[in-house]
Amino acid sequence: MSNSPSIFSRIVAREIPADIVFESDTIIAFRDIAPKAPVHVLVVPKTEQYSNVTELAAGDPALLAELVATAQQLADEQCGGQFRLIFNTGENAGQTVFHVHAHVLGGTLTEGSLGF
In Å, what is the CA distance from 57 to each residue of 11, 100, 110, 114? 23, 10, 29, 25
Asked if 9 contacts 3 with a C-beta cutoff of 8 angstroms, the reply is no
101 is catalytic: yes
In degrees and rounded to multiples of 5, residue 52 shows phi and psi of: -150, 175
Catalytic one of 40, 99, 101, 103: 101
- Spatial separation of the C-alpha atoms in residues 101 and 43, rounded to whole Å: 6
**Cα–Cα distance between 24 and 105 in angstroms, integer?**
21
Query: 42 and 29 in contact (C-beta within 8 Å)?
Result: yes
Could you list the active site residues? Answer: 101
